[in-house]
Amino acid sequence: MKSHILVAVAAFYLSGALAQNYDVSSSAPGYAIKGKPHRTKTGLEFPLELNSGDGVDLYGKTINDLVVNVDFETSDRLHVKIADKAAKQIPVPDTAFGLERPKLRKPAKKTNYDFKYTDNPFGFQVIRKVDNEVIFDTNNYPLVFEDQYLELTTGVPDDANIYGIGEVTAPFRRNNHQNVTTVFARDAGTPFYENIYGSHPYYNEIRDGKAHGVFLLNAHGMDVFFAEGRVTYKVIGGILEFYFFVPKDGKPNSVLEAYTDLIGKPFMPALWMLGWNHCRYGFKNISHVNWAVDGYKAANIPLETIWVDIDYMDHEKDFTFDPINFPEESMIALSKKMHANNQRMITMVDPALSTNDSYAPYERGHEMDVFIKNNDGTEFTGQVWPGYTVFPDWWHPKAAEFWDYEIIEWMKLLDLDGLWIDMNEPASFCLGSCGSGKANTDPPLQWELPEEEAAKIHAEEQAALDAMGISVPGDTRNLLYPNYAINSGGGNLSERTASMTSLHYGDIPHYDYHNLYGHAECSLTRESLLKYKPNERPFILSRSTFAGSGQYVGHWTGDNHSSWDKLKNSIAEIFNFQMFGVSYSGADVCGFFDNATEPLCTRWMELGSLYPFARNHNTLVASSQEPFLWERTAEASRRALAVRYALLPYYYTLFEESHRIGTGVWRPLIFEYPEEDAFLDNDVQFLIGSNVLASPVVNENATSVDAHFPEGVWYDWYTNEAHVSTSGKEKVTLDAPMEHIPVHVRGGAILPLKTPEMLVKDTYASPYILLIALDQNGEAEGRLYIDDQHSVEQPETSDITFTYKHGVLKASGNFGYKDAEKIGTIKIVGAQDDIKSASCKGDKVELVNKDGALVAEDLDIPLTGRFTVKFN
């Protein structure tokens, strides 16, 4: 077996059903390089030809001739694409509705990786240069490339430390027991280990303290198996387009920087978006919504934004009002009330539009011919909350014009602050098409019918689906029932979504675009909001996402349950989305389904108060869970939200860093301390940035937490008490009575803070507080980002670095924003007792000891230029 190694750049110029699904296809003959590899502008290209032998047409039609492109794109990013020579397979589009690939003119001059390949059978390795570690290795495993079945395997260490691949409700570190993760967008209420709303075929692996990332850019349904010693991809279409991320320093956060360099950096939220949110599905009328708003105020619990679910709609139709319970004038009045109080308002908009022939949005879309079609050319009809519905085809040339009108007119009417786009997998309650010509009817919800009647309707849908045919004109694939059945929790691929044989513009089957549908809506809706207010940062929350959606929208983890398991697992789910480049993410606080108990909601409010996106939300069939309904929950909410609002400048600075660099706002301990094996499975504690550690209670009846602390000194947020850790391996038991969430600040950090108030605007109007938490060397540093808090384009910004060393606090950097509040207080924890006085610009600064901290109050230090404070 001949091998070749490509060492950039010098060597670049050288030529050279689960039980049955689990196994690799060892009988496949594989491929061999035929012909001489040749140079391209950015790498190499060479042809592959199928070897003779048995094991062809395993699940689809084998493709004999392939082309491999290897592009040395950057020093830390390698691109390996294996595609059919005839280019009939459908890749992820090179557009905003898929992934806009970088346009490169030359290869990277130096790389942190090598690429090695074998001729026959073809296989390849990706090698990290710094330690000669093979991080991806397909040798000795088959390559299968069929029209509806692709298989590729890489060897990994036994019990590998792999994070990612989803969207899935599961522990953060993937294990070898529940070992298959299916990537296929699906409307499902967060069952453990099953595929749900989004599609992110990306993982981050850590070996011996060094990390790398692997991304399969493919939007088709797939199973990814984690087994002892290997990871196997089994995909039902498209091509094998891999990106590998190998940063020189081997840090997990550096991998995320490289990954988001490719897929797009997370969007920058406006400051108000970091406030507390409340919603419920099941507000009975406008008075019920006002009751919730007023209840927060009476209980002195912060509330920034009220959300109204589909309750406001007339028979659940987008862009309409229930004339009895939510009349138009009352919704407009609510919006005005919120804005008069410096609060915000958001409503839901679903992609599914009623087919009622008196419904204007449908009539406009029908006239423009912008809806998804059946394979016979009629409009694809599903069933969602309004009854029978059609779905915009985002790929249609007129879809943007159609959507712009509907969205902009709706935003204007209510003066909304953002939109919540739901059900965009797309979700539908039928099995595929519900049939044609079903306007002006009100079908029952099948799960509310007697079992026999529901089964009869389902059988009729199955017959209608089959009658449409298993394929589309000119396509020989079996789109309804591919021979390889991915392990989708929904079973049939067309269950509760669009039929796989329905068509998008250009006669592209939904089979090929399904996982991109919500992502495309994210992109298009953001553009609509930018047309509405071109320099205002759009707020959009989406349920379905794909790689790169985070540059357009935020995400919540969907319809979870009021249970302790879901409370705990919400941390892992948010870790995943931070890693997927969706830093503005959170879970439904207190749970969506089922009835939240007082202890559960209390602990969840404590945890949820620190989510990057923080919102209480539940369903209409559950009991109310507003935090002011229980006194202990209300008190816990006030305390935890006081921590969040005090940290707003720190959060905002982290979001700017995430937007600019790509790192997460929340971070697992293992991503900050990858050399510490004790953190590999820790998905209960979380870091906010690098400097704030939260250790929430996630178990029923617990009043303490067994916490790990990274090496160094950590200060209790509330008492300033120092804990010195010599190793992350040791556990420390922290008291956590019902109304308390343990929070600690890393020694060595300087945090910009505010005095918490009920509203974000009022909080930010207070002077800055600098919290200086000294490390064991008596030093600290930190950062503060300031802008106008809401505009897309920023003519003036400040990016300030604070350092404390040898008793001197210095501020340096860029001071372009001239309207920032001044520093009013400096608080030092961990200071030596011999500090007696301080001075700033020659003026004496009074110092007092408060709660174990050295405090200078009533300062008036402007953030318009450099300054120094000396502590003597």
Distances in Å between the alpha carbon of 841 and those of 311, 772, 801? 59, 20, 18
The alpha helices in 580-735, defined as continuous H runs, are 598-608, 631-646, 648-661, 669-672
The 3 state secondary structure assigned to 238-291 is CCEEEEEECCCCCCHHHHHHHHHHHHCCCCCCCHHHHCCEECCCCCCCHHHHHH
Q: From the CB of residue 190, how many other CB atoms can be counted at a distance below 10 Å?
A: 24
Rounded distance, CA 647 to CA 130, Å? 38
CB atoms within 10 A of CB 369: 13
Give start and end residues of each alpha helix (H) in 283-393: 286-298, 328-340, 360-368
Written as six digits, the tokens of 64 are 């004999």
* Residue type at 123 in one-letter notation: G
Catalytic pick among 114, 241, 422, 683: 422
Locus of tokens 């592209």: 508
| Residue of 137, 167, 559, 656 with catalytic role | 559
What is the length of the chain? 872
- Cβ distance 337 to 308 under 8 Å? no
- Tokens read off for 843: 């003026």
Catalytic residue among 76, 137, 379, 425: 425
**Annotated catalytic residue 573:** no
Bridge partners of 512, per DSSP, are: none
Contacts of 428 (CB under 8 A, 6+ apart): 352, 382, 383, 384, 389, 391, 434, 496, 497, 498
Alpha-carbon distance values, 448 to 169, 622, 744 (Å): 26, 16, 48
783 vs 769: CA distance, rounded Å: 13
Give the residue carrying structure tokens 């010693």: 229
As to burial, measured by CB atoms within 10 angstroms (0-12 exposed, 13-18 middle, 19+ buried), residue 178 is middle
Whole-angstrom distance, CA of residue 474 vs CA of residue 812: 65
- Residue 291 phi/psi, 5-degree rounding, is -60, -40
Q: Are 216 and 231 in contact (CB under 8 A)?
A: no
Q: Could you tell me if 199 and 219 are in contact, meaning their C-beta atoms sit under 8 angstroms apart?
A: yes
Asked if residue 510 lies in contact with residue 372, where contact means CB atoms within 8 angstroms, the answer is yes
251-to-110, 208, 663, 685 alpha-carbon distances in Å = 19, 11, 11, 19
Assess whether 422 carries a catalytic annotation. yes
d(CA 563, CA 604): 10
**How many whole angstroms separate alpha carbon 123 and alpha carbon 65?**
15
Contact 170, 572 (CB under 8 A): yes
| 425 given a catalytic annotation | yes
Residues annotated as catalytic are 422, 425, 559
